[in-house]
Amino acid sequence: MKNLLVTTALAAVLMSSAASAEDVKIGVILGFTGPIESLTPGMAASGELAMKEVSDSGKFLDGSTVTPVRGDSTCVDSAAASAAAERLITSDKVSAIFGADCSGVTGAVLQNVARPNGIVMISPSATSPALSDAEDDGLFFRTAPSDARQGQVLAEVLAEKGVKSAALTYTNNDYGKGLAESIKSNAEAAGIEITIDSSHEDGKGDYSAEVGALAQAGGDVLIVAGYLDQGGKGIIQSALDAGAFETFVLPDGMVGDSLPAAIGDGLNGSYGTIAGTDSEGAGMFNKMAEDAGIKIDAYVGESYDAAALIMLAMQAAGSSNSADFKSKIMDVANAPGEKILPGELGKALELLSEGKDIDYVGATNVELIGAGESAGSFREILVDGGKITTAKYR
């Protein structure tokens, strides 16, 4: 027995001292069940695509490999997400967390698991403005832009269109509230009067009372910060029926082909914003993803970038220890340095091992600002002829 203990201890010492060529584990915590379960398989596959690319290059930390370990965030259940993250860290010994996805569980995992254990986490899709100010010990980053940024962009669009006053309605949850607050404060700063900001509940049959209140407040346009197949659609339909508003402003939750299909011609002339970029990297990533059999959907590019940033930072620090590489993430993501596009992770690893600087551009034109969140490129859309068209990128 004693011998066995000694041998085990010896083996453990040997293993930890063998810094060269280890198997680095990265936790993939996404809502594989729950409200966004249709998006997460693509997101996870994109992140794992980057990990495979790095492993296959053979240049990562002296020939180390990367293994993803999946956990279920459920998107809505903070306790379940924290338990899954705890398991990944304590029993699977992951070095970093790629995730979580929804804003609520991401905040919970950060506070309950990542900070106490000192593990870096990069979320590809949490957009709540509240996460910008969260205490994170420099461990939390995200490749998705905050909704606060979208409010800013939307206010710019409104000002350019010459809107003087607008009514605002939002879906009654964290996303809707955060986005509405940001739109309101930015629009008012730009001199646009918000005549009313009222919430609506999703899943109701009748929105005529809500529209009645919005119509009484009046405004040039109606901003609908909701969901396109939920209350947002009901509000727009009801407003058009009553002749209350003619132009609608659509933030990201409302942009999708099913909306003009459901509403018809009444939506023509409405406009909005959604995260998006026309950069070279986006095209390259879409091709890579298609080859790998991944459906191009929301947040797949952000997922690839989040996973890539984790591994590039590890390479830059020469260590897979969160405490060592957490300070390198901003360095590899931003200028100066050679620009790195999707599919060029091998080249990036080589440059880093030579001690050179890189500027990771990736699929979504990554530029981390503030407390480590994507500055975000937005696509301004216009509904024209029953279709969503791109007006410009900003």
Q: Which spans of this chain sit near another protein (rule: CB under 8 A)?
A: 172, 196, 198-201, 203-206, 208-213, 215-218, 229, 234, 241-244, 262
Which contiguous run of DSSP H or E holds residue 393?
Answer: strand 387-393
Q: What are the E-state strand segments in 73-175?
A: 96-99, 120-123, 140-145, 165-171
- Minimum Å gap between C-beta 38 and another protein is 13
Residue among 47 and 234 whose Cβ is closer to another protein:
234
Between 168 and 381, whose beta carbon lies closer to another protein?
Answer: 168
Q: Compute the chain's Rg from CA coordinates.
A: 23
Q: How far is the CB of 214 from another protein (least distance, A)?
A: 9
Residue 259 C-beta: closest distance to another protein, Å: 13
Taking the complex as a whole, the smallest distance from the CB of residue 306 to another protein amounts, in Å, to 32
- d(C-alpha 166, C-alpha 188), whole Å: 10
One-letter amino acid identity for 158?
L
Residue 66, SS3 per DSSP: strand
Residues 90 and 68: their CA atoms lie apart, in Å, by 15
Nearer to another protein among residue 206 and residue 354 (C-beta): 206
Comparing CA positions, the residue from 58, 183, 187 lying closest to residue 129 is 183
205 vs 336, beta carbon nearer another protein: 205
Nearest CB to another protein, comparing residues 66 and 224: 224
- End-to-end CA separation in angstroms for the chain: 67
- Which residue in 276, 303, 280 sits closest to 361, CA to CA? 280
CB of 301 to another protein, least distance (A): 29
Smallest distance, another protein to C-beta of residue 269, A = 15
Closest CA to 150 of 120, 115, 185: 185
Q: Which is nearer to another protein, 196 or 330 (CB)?
A: 196
- In the complex, least distance from residue 194 CB atom to another protein, rounded to whole angstroms: 13
Closer to another protein at the Cβ: 142 or 200? Answer: 200
Peptide bond into 336 cis (omega under 30): yes
- The two most distant CA atoms of the chain are separated, in Å, by 85
d(CA 254, CA 297): 15
